[in-house]
Structure 1
Amino acid sequence: MTTTTEAVRQPSRPVLGRFRLPLRILGYALVVALGLLYVLPFVIQLVTGFKTDPDAASHPLALVPSTPTTAAYQRLFGLSRAGDGVPFFRWLGNSAFVAVLVTAGRVLFDSMAGYALARLRFPGRSLLFGFVLAVMAVPGVALLIPKFLVLNTFGLFDTYTGMILPLLVDAAGIFIMKQFFESIPREVEEAARVDGAGVFRIFWSVVLPMARPALITLTVLSFQGSWNEFTHFLVATQSSQYETLTTGLARFVSGGLGGGTQYPLKLAAALLSTLPVAALFFCFQRYFVQGANAGAVKE
């Protein structure tokens, strides 16, 4: 019986070996093609920043500028002699200020709320967690008018406080931290409790250092979300002094700073605005993946 089975299986081995290499080459070619297709818009964005306005309008997809120039970056950095620069550094400063404070607040408050929902036993805990999940299901655009009314009623409209305060706590961050804390063995906390540590001491000195992958994941997501936030800043501010990169570029693209297409200037500003988030992600990519896996799989 064994000999018959081996005789049946043996003819299939050369066939598989014959097509294994072509299939592998085809798979690699498909992956490379998809990768190039994904990178192509970023390459066009980078190249267009060194084009002139007529060149960018005539040849938008050209990968080599016909007359390379740094005029767009000179306008962004205020080095243009024509005096037609844009307030890029003000946008950058506002974005950095808001993103840093929002990220610090989310890491602190989301981790505390996630630990309370994961470990503390109190009445209404399941109901409260249900509310957190419900908030995640509500589209952000549905809350634009209520946000504006609340900020205007409390006198927070067109202030840094109104830009930062509503973003300090995030339902998705609470969910990620709760799932990670539930994967930590309870024996670690029980040993610290036997040594006389209280709830906050256990959270701060024992559990939180073990949650470094989840904290880094939350940091990256919070910084990216606050850096790229647009709709909240749109309804929370009106003055130009509070414009961030997203709102400033949106007004710029809509023609608020002059006529013409100005593709090189717009794409150069968009490219510079993506660099901080890209650098942060590539630096902490390994921890980001670990935190995402830990938050998705609960022991």
Structure 2
Amino acid sequence: MRKQLCDALVARSRRPDMVFLTGDLGFMALEPLQDAMNDRFINAGVAEQNMVSVAAAMAREGLDAWVYSIAPFCYARPFEQIRNDVAFHNLPVKLIGNGGGYGYGVMGPTHHAIEDYGVLLSLPNMSAFIPAFDEDVEAVLDRAGGAQKPAYIRLGRGEIPKGYAVPTYAPWRQLLQGDGKTVVVAGPLVGTYLAALEALPQSSRPNLWVVTELPLDGNSPPPEFIAQLASGRGVCVVEEHVRRGGLGAELALFMLGKGIHPGAFQHLYARAHHYASYGSQNFLRAQSGLDVPSLLAALSKHDS
């Protein structure tokens, strides 16, 4: 998604008030943005705490401030500055974290961003955007950039089947229809499931949804989704994020508050930072039970 990010930011950089700060990252990807912005493109160096505080000060002065780093360096290292300088003052700084989830797999647990949006959504005024497809990035930047409050944008990589026509962006999108359970996925992980779920017979094919904006109190589920939950056929939430603080927890609280009884509730999530072996993002997803066979097994578990 970095190319789409760069293209969208280059278009936005026509605004003279936009500033972009990077923590010494973005090489071989963001050079067109640097060329377009000149002095407004700032390499803050390996000093993420300072970078966030500087961005907060710029936003306080009325500038359109964007901050970029790999995901763990974007939210974990400067968390106190995000909390104190950005969130507490409700400053519209936009944090862009690349490689969300297990995106930097072989680099180990220090580089896994599997608690990122849950941690940040615990702060006041914060919202999170998790684009599912490359084609979502431009719309996500427009929506995040148009909001006068802080936001975190978690970038991954588009993983759709060849030839798949990506639907127009919306915070909630139904990608498949069927007579089975309801499956709701956060972000780009959904692309890995499309082909396998579409191949299921109508009777067991799930109603597949993707969610790209949190929290739910600012992004209510659509009536069609709520009706599917209320059918009692069961719901399965899938996210490359730890169990606490993520989409699964948000949806469970939403249903409890609305008195919705979906039947079986299943949650597939990132189970650990450490495993016995290091590996790629796909390897770590399989270890956590987020791969296609694990989802298919979960969907069939209560069908008999």
TM range (shorter): under 0.3
Q: Tell me which protein shows more strand as a share of its residues.
A: 2
Q: Tell me which protein shows more helix as a share of its residues.
A: 1
TM-score by length of 2: 0.22
Q: Which has the larger radius of gyration?
A: 1
TM-score by length of 1: 0.23
